[in-house]
Amino acid sequence: AMSSKPTPPYLLAQTSKVAELLKRCWEDEVFVDTLADRFARLAMQLLSRYATWVTDSLRDRSTSPSSSSTPSDTSTSSAAANALWTTPDGLVKVLADVERMRSSAKDESAAGILGEAVRAMAPLGDAAAVAIRSALHDIADDRMEKIAVRIRELLVTPLATKCCGMLKQLRGITATYRMTNKPAPERASHYVPSVLAPLRTFVTETAIPAKLTEAAKATLVAEVAGQVTDSFTDTASELLSHVKKTESSLQLLKSRKDSKSGGGAGGGGAGGGGGTGTEEIFQQL
């Protein structure tokens, strides 16, 4: 008989129990060839109920998930259960388990859920192996992936919001060059190194990301950086539009003033931004 110990290790007791039961479905002393369709259905139900439990708990995360909704009995306190779904540490644990469960459901090695199923189904012919492989892939690539996306969203949004808060200082660039004779910039604004500080702290100075695979961590970082980049682009574009409108208004006023004074085009040298700080603002952005 093969060991029922779940591999890879999971962080939550609920996930470990589901993984153990999934592996038990295909063990030699449990699996019965003539009931193969029922064992396959049982495996699908276990994975589906696990996905439903996570989905429902994420939806109702403002309140503690009820103990009756979990796929296994636990003695976790109400406060700890609530923290699992409302804190970064808790959400990362759930994400790590969901990613591992999803990976195992597609893993055809002896350590994977799919590998166990295919091995058990082998005597029944290729069609049986193809069917169980397709069913497990469908759950992994559809329900489990959607859950992972939702958890990443819950982790990414507050991190990105903190990072984007630093971008408010972009608007100060206009005043810096409009109201002073500050020379053209030679380096990035002082706030730039601080923009991704919340993300950097999360990744390097907390133990939370260690629970994730490198691929999952990289995805999380990329999604935060993407949102921050989009926010910078939107803010900078809005600022540039405002600067251009202001420059046009200043040029029009200057043109009228020159016309009244008979100044001609001699002062046109400022048209490229000289005296208004426009060129310096563009360079700084």
The predicted-structure confidence for 16-52, as pLDDT tens digits, reads as follows 999 999 999 999 899 998 999 999 999 999 999 999 9
pLDDT band with cut points at 50, 70 and 90 for residue 2 = very low
* pLDDT over 50 at 185, yes or no: yes
Q: Which two tokens stand for residue 176?
A: 């810096």
Taking only the tens place, the pLDDT of each residue in 207-232 is: 887 888 888 889 999 999 999 999 99
Higher pLDDT, 60 or 275: 60
Higher pLDDT, 70 or 276: 276
Taking only the tens place, the pLDDT of each residue in 153-166 is: 999 999 999 999 99
Cis peptide before 8 (omega within 30 of 0): yes
* Sign of the C-alpha dihedral computed for residues 137, 140, 141 and 142 taken in this order: positive
pLDDT band with cut points at 50, 70 and 90 for residue 263 = low
CA 18, CA 48: separation in Å to the nearest integer? 11
* pLDDT over 80 at 266, yes or no: no
Higher pLDDT, 76 or 136: 136
Looking at residue 265, its pLDDT comes to 46
Which helix (H) or strand (E) element contains residue 40?
helix 36-59
Looking at residue 192, its pLDDT comes to 92
CA 220, CA 273: separation in Å to the nearest integer? 41
Higher pLDDT, 90 or 69: 90
Looking at residue 269, its pLDDT comes to 39
Looking at residue 63, its pLDDT comes to 55
Closest to 94 in 3D by CA, of 12, 215, 178, 184: 12
Q: Which residues of 95-129 are buried (b: 16+ CB within 10 A; e: fewer)?
A: bbbbbbbbbbbbbbeeebbbbbbbbbbeeeeeebb
